[in-house]
Amino acid sequence: MEKQIETGIFSGSFNPIHMGHLMLAGYISAFTYVKEVWFVVTPHNPLKLKESLLSDDIRLEMVRLALEDYDNLKVSDVEFHMPRPSYTIDTLNTLSQKYPDRRFSLIIGGDNWSLFNKWKDYEQILERYQILIYPRPGEKIRISKRLRKSVQLVNAPEVEISSTFIRHAIGEGKEMRAFLPPKVYDYIKNNRLYRKND
């Protein structure tokens, strides 16, 4: 059997995708064993407040535009075709069945790692998949000795940009070109997304 392609799964609402996401995925694909990072766009969870979450298709399109010029970064809508709410274990298992030529690892932030034992079937994730944790401001990351073969901390730079900050700034009419991939910036501007008064 040929060696499986090491593929990192980076899930999020990407509302919108920004330069911090690209820098993190770029770091992971350059400095770890992962060869490709797949951005899994999560559909709207009906149990959560919708607030300013754009439609699934618009967020997917923004991620597609952001990644167009990168060979090792891809977009996936796998969760759009799964029962909702979608759980990480089900997403990873679905992808593993669909792409047997790949070995999937989960990419999560230190904030999610501190809550990981509350995730559905988290022990199965630990048994079946590698986990890469990236640092988040103010989060101390602890990995117990028994997990160090399957879980590792990635020494990625901490990027303090959030989608919430970008949405609010755009809503206030601020110039956010430097924070967004150029095609995403143009798409948001042309479609007047996140504008408060429209």
Per residue in 47-106, pLDDT tens? 566 666 899 999 999 999 999 999 999 999 999 999 988 899 999 999 999 999 999 999
Q: Is the pLDDT of residue 198 over 60?
A: no
Task: State the average pLDDT for the chain.
Answer: 93
Q: How many C-beta neighbours within 10 Å does residue 137 have?
A: 10
Strand order in the sheet with 130-134: 73-76, 36-41, 5-12, 102-109, 130-134, 151-153
Task: Give the residue among 147, 110, 98, 150 at the shortest CA–CA distance from 128.
Answer: 150
Cis check for the bond before 83: say yes or no (omega within 30 of 0): no
User: Comparing 33-42, 83-92, 124-133, 176-185, which segment has the lowest mean pLDDT?
Assistant: 83-92
As a whole number, mean pLDDT of residues 169-196 equals: 96
Give the C-alpha separation, 11 to 118, whole Å: 17
What's residue 34's pLDDT? Answer: 98
More confident residue, 133 or 197: 133
Distances (CA, A) of 150 to 67, 103, 157, 168: 28, 13, 22, 38
**Domain residue extents for the chain:** 5-159
User: Comparing 8-12, 68-72, 134-138, which segment has the lowest mean pLDDT?
Assistant: 134-138
Beta-strand pair 151-153/73-76: unpaired
What's residue 53's pLDDT? Answer: 84
Residue 45 identity (one-letter amino acid) = N
5-159 falls under which CATH superfamily?
A: HUPs (3.40.50.620)
Per residue in 16-62, pLDDT tens? 999 999 999 999 999 999 999 999 999 976 556 666 689 999 999 99
